[in-house]
């Protein structure tokens, strides 16, 4: 019974995600609830993953028109020992600093991107930046945007415990109805960012463990490799 219920719910989620009407409603609800000037046609979400401050990584996933755009997904390695808020601030700063650089290159006909024909992967900013977390993570992301002079990207956070939506500077969260398409879309975006971050974190941990094991093998490593 439980397995059948889970499978039925999964099918329902897929159907809603592919439903144009549901996606349009979700974007309209988000625009109203977050008081955005326009519907958030491009949403980016950042999630931090680590184990007690080690192998810290971050993911950035992109949704356009309510659908995942996997070609625009990005992964980031973060300095060891960095806590969640500092890591969030660093990743947001790196992502949007790259955006500003690529915008400058685009305006300059002799820029590196123009000369070499590189794809400008960070050239398109989101209408809405979602962070996995509550008020501290939102404040960290908003602070990085302010430091870079970016004022046209809205920020919100989705906290897992109560699925509350946090906005910069607000003392109380925005509570979306549990059955709303807007909350469902934010959950899908957040869950996808979490999945992508966990996948990268596991890969990084596996690599670190392999290197550590090889370091203990006699004859391998920096000392064994010298001639």
> Alpha-carbon distance 29 to 177, whole Å?
10
**What is the structure's pLDDT at 83?**
86
Residue 226: per-residue pLDDT: 39
Task: Give this prediction's pTM.
Answer: 0.79
| C-beta atoms surrounding 169 within 10 Å | 9
Nearest to 60 by CA among 189, 185, 165, 163: 189
Q: Which fold has domain 2-209?
A: Nucleotidyltransferase; domain 5 (3.30.420)
Query: For residues 143 and 149, what is the distance between their CA atoms, to the nearest angstrom?
Result: 10
State pLDDT tens for residues 6-59. Answer: 555 555 555 566 688 999 999 999 999 999 999 999 999 999 987 665 678 999
Each residue's pLDDT tens digit, 74-105: 999 887 667 889 999 999 999 999 999 888 88
How confident is the model at residue 153, as a pLDDT?
97
Assign 3-state DSSP to the chain and report helix, strand, coil percentages, each to 5. 50, 20, 30
d(CA 49, CA 120): 26
């Amino acid at each position: 019974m439980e397995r059948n219920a889970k499978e039925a719910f999964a099918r329902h989620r897929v159907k809603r995600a592919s439903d144009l009407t549901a996606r349009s409603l979700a974007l309209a609800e988000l625009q109203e609830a977050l008081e955005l000037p326009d519907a958030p046609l491009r949403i980016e979400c950042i999630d931090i993953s680590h184990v007690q401050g080690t192998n810290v990584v971050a993911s950035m996933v992109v949704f356009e028109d309510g659908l995942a755009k996997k070609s625009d997904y990005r992964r980031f390695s973060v300095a060891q020992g960095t806590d969640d808020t500092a890591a969030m601030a660093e990743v947001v700063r790196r992502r949007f600093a790259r955006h500003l650089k690529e915008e400058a290159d685009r305006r300059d006909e002799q820029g590196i991107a123009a000369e070499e024909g590189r794809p400008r992967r960070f050239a398109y900013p989101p209408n809405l930046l979602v962070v996995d977390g509550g008020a501290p993570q939102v404040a960290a992301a908003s602070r990085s945007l302010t430091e870079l002079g970016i004022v046209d990207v809205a920020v919100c956070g989705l906290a897992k415990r109560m699925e509350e939506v946090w906005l910069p500077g607000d003392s109380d969260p925005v509570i979306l109805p549990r059955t709303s398409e807007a909350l469902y879309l934010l959950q899908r975006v957040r869950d996808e960012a979490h999945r992508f971050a966990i996948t990268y974190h596991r890969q990084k941990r596996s690599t670190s463990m392999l290197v550590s094991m090889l370091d203990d093998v006699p004859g391998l490593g920096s000392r064994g490799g010298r001639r």
